[in-house]
Amino acid sequence: MDDLIARFLAYIERSNSGSMHTVSAYQRDLCEFRDYLRAENIDSFEQADRIVVMNYIGELRSRDGINGPMKNTSIARKLSSLRSFYRYLNEYIGSMNNPFLYLKSPKPAKRIPEFLFYDEMENFLSSVDETKEEGIRNRALFELMYACGLRVSEVVNLRVEDIDFQEGILRIVGKGNKERLVPFYSFAADKIKSYLSVREKWMREIHPYLFVNRHGRQLTSRGVQYLMEKQARACGMNIHVHPHMFRHTFATHLLDNGADLRVVQELLGHSSLSTTQIYVHVTQDRLKQAYIQAHPRAKS
């Protein structure tokens, strides 16, 4: 079994089908499975059948890590490694056995998006020091991300010409170069207009991007992340604030205030309605929590 694992890892490295991190992950997953087989008195991969694999999955589920039981995503990754390994055994070693052939990986649990309550968002935005030029830019940046539910990649690639102040519409090029139009409120327009004079002062090279640093260079995604983390600390927020949280907040606040799900889908640029529906769970959870806290019989 050790020899087959070594040959497979060498194949992975030769084929450049994974980074060194991937190779080490393969090695860890395969060695864990090998050790499980040996503990079950099975001394070859050929002898492992579907029942053995199902028992192995059960053993993985029973393991406790730092944050509790092993997650479906971790189990799915391990099964993916073993599935690739057995494909290699079938194609290059001549093994006829593949207990993973028709085995489905467990579906990952749906994660409820992190978002800010309205007063938290208001506190974050209003805490920006707009007496400084950086603060004028940051307020425009944060306000527009919240106003339009932008991905961080979309906001850093936003061009000045994408803003239609007269119509109050933003032209956004999202994933897969898909274009969408999103309206923005007048307060956000005022913040952008104030920033444009700062941008003009900072510009040292000609390029179309809206948000720049003091040297006139295009802001990066990491730069936006840094600015958000810095502002969160400045206003005393003890949570990890990140760009996608503003997008989650945008969607959650719209649904909370009666927006149609398909309208929110269009504004977010989601291809599938099911992707947008995760935000419905957020609003439902909040309704349930409010009900439990307020109804006298629910409290008991």
Catalytic residues: 151, 175, 244, 247, 270, 279
DSSP letters along 211-224, please? Answer: -B-TTSPBPPHHHH
d(CA 263, CA 240): 29
Q: Are 97 and 45 in contact (CB under 8 A)?
A: yes
Three-state SS annotation for 2-47: HHHHHHHHHHHHHHCCCCHHHHHHHHHHHHHHHHHHHHCCCCCHHH
